[in-house]
Amino acid sequence: MLNWLQRFNIFCLLDSNDYNLTPHVYEYLVGAGCADSLDGTVDNFPAVDAFLSNNQWTFGHLSYNLGLALHSMPSQKEDRLGFPSFFFFKPEVVLYIKRDRLHIDCPWSDEVYQQIMTCSEQGTVGAMDLQVQHRGSEEAYLQTVKLLQEHLRRGDCYEINFCQEFFSEQAVINPAAAFQALSLVSPNPFAAFYKLEDRYLMCASPERFLNREGDRLLSQPMKGTASRVTGDEGADLAAATELSLSQKNRSENVMVVDLVRNDLSIVCEEGTVTVDELFGIQTFPALHQMVSTVSGTVGSGASFSEIITATFPMGSMTGAPKQRVMELIEKYEASNRGIFSGSVGYISPEGNFDFNVVIRSMMYNAISGYFSYQVGSGITVYSDVDKEWEECLLKAGSIRSLMTGTPLQNESAP
Cite the active site residues. 207, 223
For the chain, first and last CA: distance in Å?
A: 33
Residue 407 neighbours by CB under 8 Å, 6+ apart: 131, 132, 133, 134, 166
Q: Which residues of 86-106 are buried (b: 16+ CB within 10 A; e: fewer)?
A: bbbbbbbbbbbeeeeeeebee
Among 15, 21, 26, which Cα is nearest to 186's? 15
147 with 170: CB under 8 angstroms? no
Among 391, 154, 356, 381, which Cα is nearest to 255's? 381
Give the β-pairing of 93-98 and 101-105: antiparallel
Among 326, 331, 355, which Cα is nearest to 342's? 355
Among 294, 392, 329, which Cα is nearest to 144's? 329
Rounded to 10 deg, the angle between the 247-267 and 304-311 helix axes is 150
According to DSSP, the residues that pair with 94 across neighbouring strands are: 31, 105
